[in-house]
Amino acid sequence: MNSQYPHRPEACMNRRDMLSRMGTGLGMLGLAGLLGDEKLLAADAQSAAQAMSYQNPLAPKEPHFPAKAKHVIHLFMTGGPSHVDTFDPKPLLTKYDGKPLPGGENLRTERKTGAAMASPFKFQKYGESGIEVSELFHHTAQHIDDIAVIRSMQAEVPNHEPSLGLMNCGASVAVRPAFGSWLTYGMGTDNQNLPGYIVMCPHGYPTKQTQNWQSAFLPGVYQGTYVDTRHTEVEKLIENVKNSKLSLEEQRSQIDLLQKMNQAHREQRGFDPALESRVQSFELAYRMQMEATDAFDVSREPKNVLEAYGDGIQARQILIARRLVERGVRFVQVFHDQGQPWDSHDDLEKSHRRLAGQCDKAIGALIADLKRLGLFEETLILWGGEFGRTPTVELPKPGSNQGKVNGRDHNHYGFTCWLAGGGIKGGQVYGSTDETGFKAAENPVHVHDLHATMLHALGFDHKKLTYRYAGRDYRLTDVHGNVVHQLLS
């Protein structure tokens, strides 16, 4: 009698029992093979459903809630610009120039520092808000009423690599996706003929190289596309963007054949996110040939626009950033140059004046140009470095500097960045450092808080923009971060 049916002595065995018991289960194996061929097994059915419902991962998506900002331009002053020489004036440094600062021993930074060092630059009040800005950024300051200056930023360590990881990816040590990768994962991009996340850096990579724009455990389609903006020809700007041997029609035929082969592979093996990312990369590479030439060719701009941005690589790449946003690219990151150019351990006055002179005019033109095109209210701009610099002079140390005693060391305890554009309430200063500029004193803003606030301006709850990996839901802000609502309009 079948123990499963004690009340039904006539039902000794059902068909499933028979198949599983007879021939030591070979009957069930045969059935599994038949069901698998027809995609009727649960796992195969799920894979088939995923394949059938698959959509382009870069297709535009709605954020968690309505927001003004739709794009981001990150103007990254790699190396750490000095906040006390740019957007955070400290009169006390002039008073104690060349003397020990009051209050006892200085906070420990990366290297040994000495007496107070007065800023060699003059500060002036601008706009109706009367915010003080250094002469280094005179053109940018013309738009100070549209800018929210955060003077109480904090990072975690006074070293470039971990601080670059924190600012770009929300993690000092662990491998995590970049901000731009998270944003394109969450929102897709408006232009399917250009990457959703583009990174520009002339002459080579910045410190930490491609880790600054990695997608990490997110699908590879969300990683940044690097462009070397020292070049002006699109073939040099974007490697292999054009095929010199095949016409567009011939390439289209190749891509179509490849897609059919990939589709057959998908039907046999099920849905594979890594394969889909690769398939999409082929399609994007083909479509870029038709639009990249136009997007990166600034010579197509009117003469008055070119003159407004000025000459040089910085002017060109900041203008390209506007052209990319105008064409629907979601996240554009502009590194000042390879390495860490703002790292002024020596000759700070000379180096900061030169570097600011390369980008200040173009930054002012960018804000004005975005307004002219009606894009300012939907474009979120972030300016800053990975940390600031000490208000004290760096002392000579073999292998660390040139021993000129006219530069500043790294400072992660307190520094400045600013936000403008979509979703930001301009004409305000948020937070402050102490009277010397050494550490955040009022309303500290950690980098996690900055990221949470930017995501909010873009329509995302930073706690809900997650991706499951290795059994855990990850997010840009890890388990930290608070939205600074005072910065939002």
DSSP state of 224: P
pLDDT score of 49 more than 90: no
Confidence of residue 460 (pLDDT cuts 50, 70, 90): very high
Contact criterion met (CB below 8 Å) for 388 and 80: yes
Angle at the Cα of 106 (from 105 to 112), degrees rounded to 5?
Answer: 110
User: Residue 456: which of 430, 489, 426 has the closest Cα?
Assistant: 489
Q: Could you tell me which residue, 10 or 312, shows the higher pLDDT?
A: 312
* Maximum Cα–Cα distance across the chain: 103
Whole-number Å distance between alpha carbons of 370 and 377: 8
DSSP state of 97: B
The 10s digit of each residue's pLDDT in 379-407 is 999 999 999 999 999 999 888 888 899 99
Interatomic CA distance for residues 467 and 469, integer angstroms: 6
Which structure tokens are listed for 346?
Answer: 């020596």
Distance CA 120, CA 174 (A): 38
Centre a 10 Å sphere on the Cβ of residue 142 and count the other Cβ atoms it contains.
15
Residue with tokens 């946003």: 325
Neighbours of 218 (CB within 10 A): 22
The pLDDT, as a whole number, for residue 361 is 98
Name the CATH architecture for the domain at 71-487. Answer: 3-Layer(aba) Sandwich (3.40)
pLDDT score recorded for residue 14: 63
What is the pLDDT at residue 263?
79
* Predicted confidence (pLDDT) at residue 39 exceeds the cutoff of 80: no
pLDDT of residue 308: 98
Which residues are paired to 419 by β-bridges?
148, 382
* Cβ-based burial of 6 (10 A; exposed 0-12, middle 13-18, buried ≥19): exposed
Q: Are 374 and 240 in contact (CB under 8 A)?
A: no
58: Cα separation from own chain's centroid: 16
Beta bridge partners of 381: 73, 420
* Nearest to 341, CA basis, from 212, 213, 207: 207
Please state which of the ranges 6-15, 89-98, 280-289, 478-487 shows the lowest mean pLDDT: 6-15
**Separation between Cα atoms, residue 123 and residue 176, nearest integer Å:** 39
Q: What is the pLDDT of residue 20?
A: 54
What is the mean predicted confidence (pLDDT) over 180-209? 95
Summarised one tens digit per residue, pLDDT across range 254-287 is: 777 887 888 787 777 776 766 776 777 676 666 6
Residue 352 is which amino acid? H
